[in-house]
Amino acid sequence: MVVRRIKDRWHNSTPEQDARDVISEKSTDDQASALSYIIWRLALNKAINLHAEDFRYDSDQQRIGVISELLAFQIQHVDRLLFEIVEPEVRLNLLNTLSSKVAEHMQDNLTDIAGPGNYVPPFIELLNQRFETYSGFNYEKEQPGYSSFRYLGREVLEIMGNDQENRWVIDQIIEIDAPEIAEQVSKSTFRLFGES
């Protein structure tokens, strides 16, 4: 399993300065940038880990598809968390900025892998579709419920294919990867917003 440390705290400029003061100085753009990097790294790490757990990608398109699903899952999770801790207009602004910044990561990486193209619109379309679906699932104590994990697992299985090597990927997502991702996104979001 690949484990990399995720930085999710603002650096205090002086020992006397409390974390909330540092956070209040941060712009929506700063917060969205930090979250976009965290979300991108988590999705990339989990996609790499699937391969390390002997699940098979047949193409870069499959790998990007899995990363896209993991990103959409995380962004909608951030939206649910922000609903509880920020004002509606701040939440909407931050969510739009976050989605745009994650889409920029997608554009840069797909350009490197697949060559020039406009990869942002399909990703934003996927986000809109997933937001609609995930909105119907229950949350329990600020965490996605089993139905969210199952939906993510099913989407990843569909991308990777239900063959002998990949048929258990849905269990990997439901039981291990999705809960770990959700927990890390919650911690990082609350830390960046001074809620922990």
Alpha-carbon span 175 to 182, nearest angstrom: 12
Assigned domain for 151 exists: yes
Using pLDDT thresholds of 50, 70 and 90, give the confidence band for residue 4. Answer: very low
Mean pLDDT along residues 4-18:
45
Assigned domain for 3 exists: no
Assigned domain for 1 exists: no
How many CA atoms within 13 Å lie on the side-chain side of 139?
16
Q: Which residues pair with 140 in a beta bridge?
A: 143
Assigned domain for 5 exists: no
DSSP 144: E
pTM metric for this prediction: 0.86
Is the distance from CB of 50 to CB of 169 less than 8 angstroms? yes
Assigned domain for 17 exists: no
Q: Which residues pair with 183 in a beta bridge?
A: none
Give the tens place of pLDDT for each residue, 36-61.
999 999 999 999 999 999 999 999 99
Assigned domain for 74 exists: yes
Assigned domain for 76 exists: yes
% the chain with pLDDT above 70: 86
Assigned domain for 128 exists: yes
Coil vs helix vs strand at 5: coil
Q: How many domains does the chain have?
A: 1
Residue 36 is predicted with a pLDDT of 96
Using pLDDT thresholds of 50, 70 and 90, give the confidence band for residue 62. Answer: very high
Give the tens place of pLDDT for each residue, 151-176.
999 999 999 998 888 999 999 999 99
List the domain range (segments joined by +) for residue 75: 27-192
Q: Which residues pair with 139 in a beta bridge?
A: 144
